[in-house]
Amino acid sequence: MRELPHPPRDEIELAAVMQALADPVRLELVRLMDSDAAAPCAALAESVGVHKSTASHHFRTLRESGVTTTIVDGRIRFVRLRREALQERFPGLLDAVLRAAHANSPVSSRP
C-alpha cells in the first residue's frame, strides 16, 4: 500500500489546477470521484469511455497538478480528490468546480 508522488500542498499552482480541470474528460473524472470516493481507476476509465492509456495520462495530470492522490494496493490504483489540501490552498475552488460539474451533467437525467 504505497502512495504515488504528488506536489506538497503549498506548491500546488493555480494555473496547473485550472489546466487540469479544463479538460472535459478530467472534469468528468473528478465529478465521478466526488460521487464515488473509492472507485478504482479502471472503473472510472470505463465510465468516461476512453482508452486505458489515455485514462492513465489523465490520472497522472490530475495527480501532478495536485488535484488528486493515488494509492497503490496490489495491482489496483485508488484515486481520490485532495479535498483538504485544495481547500486550504485555494479556498472554495474545488467546491465551486464540483458543484458546477454536477449541475452541468446531472445523474438524475439519465434514462
Partner DNA sequence: CAAAAGGTTTGATGGTCATCAAACTATTTT
Partner DNA sequence: AAAATAGTTTGATGACCATCAAACCTTTTG
Q: Is 78 in the site for its own copies (CB under 8 A)?
A: no
Q: Is 56 in the site for DNA (CB under 7 A)?
A: yes
Which one of its own copies, DNA, none interacts with residue 76, CB within 5 to 8 A by kind? DNA
Cα→Cα distances 66→40, 51, 90, 92, 103, Å = 18, 23, 11, 15, 24
Cα→Cα distances 110→4, 105, 106, 107, Å = 35, 9, 8, 6
In the region spanning residues 13 to 52, those forming contacts with DNA, defined by CB under 7 A, are 19, 23, 25, 40-43, 45, 50-52
Q: Is 105 in the site for DNA (CB under 7 A)?
A: no
Which one of its own copies, DNA, none interacts with residue 56, CB within 5 to 8 A by kind? DNA
